[in-house]
Protein backbone atom coordinates (compact mmCIF):
# COMPACT_ATOMS: atom_id res chain seq x y z
CA UNK A 1 0.00 0.00 0.00
CA UNK A 2 2.83 2.43 0.88
CA UNK A 3 4.53 1.70 -2.44
CA UNK A 4 1.27 2.46 -4.29
CA UNK A 5 0.86 5.81 -2.48
CA UNK A 6 4.47 6.69 -3.23
CA UNK A 7 3.94 5.82 -6.90
CA UNK A 8 0.80 8.01 -7.08
CA UNK A 9 2.71 10.86 -5.42
CA UNK A 10 5.49 10.60 -8.00
CA UNK A 11 2.95 10.67 -10.82
CA UNK A 12 1.39 13.78 -9.26
CA UNK A 13 4.77 15.49 -9.11
CA UNK A 14 5.90 14.59 -12.59
CA UNK A 15 2.67 15.09 -14.51
CA UNK A 16 0.83 17.76 -12.51
CA UNK A 17 -2.03 15.25 -12.22
CA UNK A 18 -2.87 16.46 -8.73
CA UNK A 19 -3.48 20.09 -9.62
CA UNK A 20 -0.04 21.57 -8.97
CA UNK A 21 2.57 22.72 -11.43
CA UNK A 22 5.37 20.18 -11.91
CA UNK A 23 7.92 22.96 -12.11
CA UNK A 24 9.89 24.49 -9.26
CA UNK A 25 9.88 28.24 -8.62
CA UNK A 26 13.21 30.03 -8.49
CA UNK A 27 16.13 31.02 -10.69
CA UNK A 28 16.48 28.95 -13.87
CA UNK A 29 19.51 28.95 -16.18
CA UNK A 30 19.42 28.14 -19.88
CA UNK A 31 22.61 26.64 -21.30
CA UNK A 32 24.00 24.48 -24.13
CA UNK A 33 22.62 26.70 -26.91
CA UNK A 34 22.01 25.15 -30.31
CA UNK A 35 21.21 27.70 -32.99
CA UNK A 36 19.07 25.92 -35.56
CA UNK A 37 18.67 28.96 -37.81
CA UNK A 38 19.70 32.58 -37.32
CA UNK A 39 18.41 35.05 -39.91
CA UNK A 40 18.09 37.67 -37.10
CA UNK A 41 21.78 37.37 -36.15
CA UNK A 42 21.01 36.60 -32.49
CA UNK A 43 24.41 34.94 -32.26
CA UNK A 44 25.97 38.35 -32.96
CA UNK A 45 23.47 40.52 -31.02
CA UNK A 46 23.56 38.34 -27.88
CA UNK A 47 27.15 37.11 -28.35
CA UNK A 48 26.05 33.47 -28.19
CA UNK A 49 28.79 30.86 -28.03
CA UNK A 50 28.99 27.38 -26.46
CA UNK A 51 29.48 28.91 -22.97
CA UNK A 52 26.56 31.37 -23.28
CA UNK A 53 23.83 31.20 -20.63
CA UNK A 54 20.66 33.08 -19.79
CA UNK A 55 18.84 33.30 -16.46
CA UNK A 56 15.19 33.92 -15.58
CA UNK A 57 13.13 33.77 -12.40
CA UNK A 58 10.16 31.41 -12.60
CA UNK A 59 6.99 32.13 -10.58
CA UNK A 60 3.83 30.00 -10.53
CA UNK A 61 0.63 31.51 -11.90
CA UNK A 62 -2.55 31.76 -9.84
CA UNK A 63 -4.43 29.07 -11.76
CA UNK A 64 -1.63 26.49 -11.36
CA UNK A 65 -1.57 25.82 -15.11
CA UNK A 66 0.67 28.76 -15.89
CA UNK A 67 3.89 30.44 -14.82
CA UNK A 68 5.92 33.52 -15.67
CA UNK A 69 9.60 33.87 -16.50
CA UNK A 70 11.34 37.16 -15.81
CA UNK A 71 14.90 37.84 -16.94
CA UNK A 72 16.95 40.46 -15.10
CA UNK A 73 15.71 43.87 -16.21
CA UNK A 74 13.09 42.33 -18.48
CA UNK A 75 9.33 42.11 -18.59
CA UNK A 76 7.61 38.90 -17.44
CA UNK A 77 6.94 36.32 -20.14
CA UNK A 78 3.69 34.38 -19.76
CA UNK A 79 3.80 30.59 -20.06
CA UNK A 80 1.03 28.00 -20.22
CA UNK A 81 1.59 24.53 -18.80
CA UNK A 82 -0.17 21.46 -20.22
CA UNK A 83 1.01 18.40 -18.32
CA UNK A 84 4.76 18.50 -18.87
CA UNK A 85 4.58 20.56 -22.09
CA UNK A 86 4.77 24.34 -21.93
CA UNK A 87 4.48 27.29 -24.30
CA UNK A 88 5.72 30.82 -23.53
CA UNK A 89 5.06 33.95 -25.58
CA UNK A 90 6.83 37.25 -25.26
CA UNK A 91 7.96 40.36 -27.07
CA UNK A 92 10.89 42.73 -26.76
CA UNK A 93 10.92 46.18 -28.33
CA UNK A 94 14.05 48.32 -28.72
CA UNK A 95 13.41 51.93 -29.74
CA UNK A 96 16.56 53.47 -31.23
CA UNK A 97 14.89 56.90 -31.64
CA UNK A 98 16.35 58.00 -28.29
CA UNK A 99 19.74 56.36 -28.83
CA UNK A 100 20.97 53.44 -26.71
CA UNK A 101 24.33 52.64 -25.17
CA UNK A 102 26.97 53.81 -27.65
CA UNK A 103 24.63 54.28 -30.62
CA UNK A 104 23.27 57.69 -31.61
CA UNK A 105 19.53 58.27 -31.99
CA UNK A 106 18.13 56.91 -35.25
CA UNK A 107 14.72 56.24 -36.78
CA UNK A 108 14.43 52.51 -36.03
CA UNK A 109 12.33 50.32 -33.77
CA UNK A 110 13.16 46.62 -33.54
CA UNK A 111 10.48 44.21 -32.31
CA UNK A 112 11.34 40.62 -31.42
CA UNK A 113 8.30 38.38 -30.86
CA UNK A 114 9.11 34.97 -29.41
CA UNK A 115 7.39 31.65 -28.87
CA UNK A 116 9.10 29.06 -26.69
CA UNK A 117 7.90 25.46 -26.69
CA UNK A 118 9.37 22.93 -24.34
CA UNK A 119 8.96 19.98 -22.07
CA UNK A 120 9.68 19.56 -18.40
CA UNK A 121 12.05 16.63 -17.88
CA UNK A 122 11.34 16.80 -14.15
CA UNK A 123 10.47 19.63 -11.74
CA UNK A 124 13.98 21.14 -11.96
CA UNK A 125 15.00 20.68 -15.61
CA UNK A 126 13.56 21.16 -19.08
CA UNK A 127 14.46 21.48 -22.73
CA UNK A 128 12.95 24.13 -24.99
CA UNK A 129 13.14 25.68 -28.43
CA UNK A 130 12.49 29.39 -29.00
CA UNK A 131 11.44 30.85 -32.34
CA UNK A 132 12.08 34.59 -32.66
CA UNK A 133 10.35 36.67 -35.33
CA UNK A 134 12.11 40.01 -35.74
CA UNK A 135 10.98 43.15 -37.54
CA UNK A 136 12.44 46.63 -37.88
CA UNK A 137 10.42 49.75 -38.63
CA UNK A 138 11.89 53.12 -39.55
CA UNK A 139 14.09 54.82 -42.11
CA UNK A 140 17.35 53.74 -40.42
CA UNK A 141 16.59 49.99 -40.38
CA UNK A 142 18.79 49.10 -43.36
CA UNK A 143 21.75 50.94 -41.86
CA UNK A 144 21.18 49.55 -38.37
CA UNK A 145 20.75 45.94 -39.49
CA UNK A 146 23.66 46.30 -41.93
CA UNK A 147 25.93 47.43 -39.10
CA UNK A 148 25.43 44.01 -37.46
CA UNK A 149 25.53 41.73 -40.50
CA UNK A 150 25.22 42.18 -44.25
CA UNK A 151 22.37 39.77 -44.82
CA UNK A 152 19.72 40.27 -42.11
CA UNK A 153 16.32 40.14 -43.82
CA UNK A 154 13.48 42.29 -42.52
CA UNK A 155 11.46 40.50 -41.22
CA UNK A 156 13.70 37.70 -39.96
CA UNK A 157 13.37 34.41 -38.04
CA UNK A 158 15.80 32.69 -35.68
CA UNK A 159 15.43 29.40 -33.80
CA UNK A 160 17.49 28.46 -30.73
CA UNK A 161 17.25 25.45 -28.41
CA UNK A 162 18.44 25.41 -24.79
CA UNK A 163 18.58 23.11 -21.80
CA UNK A 164 17.22 24.65 -18.60
CA UNK A 165 17.90 23.81 -14.96
CA UNK A 166 16.90 25.25 -11.60
CA UNK A 167 19.87 27.09 -10.09
CA UNK A 168 18.38 28.23 -6.78
Q: What is the mean pLDDT of the chain?
A: 84
Question: Is the pLDDT higher at 141 or at 6?
Answer: 141
Contact 152, 40 (CB under 8 A): yes
Nearest C-alpha neighbor of 112 from the set 87, 131, 139: 131
pLDDT of residue 52: 94
Whether the pLDDT of residue 144 is over 90: the answer is no
pLDDT of residue 21: 53
pLDDT of residue 18: 45
User: For domain 24-166, which architecture applies?
Assistant: Beta Barrel (2.40)
Banded pLDDT at 9 (limits 50, 70, 90): very low
Domain ranges in the chain are 24-166
Q: What is the mean pLDDT of residues 119-131?
A: 95
Amino acid sequence: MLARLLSISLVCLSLAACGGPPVAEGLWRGSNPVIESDECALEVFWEIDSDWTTESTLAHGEDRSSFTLTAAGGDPVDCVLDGVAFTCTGAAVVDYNEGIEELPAMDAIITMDSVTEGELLDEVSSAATTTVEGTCEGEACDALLGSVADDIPNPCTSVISLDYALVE
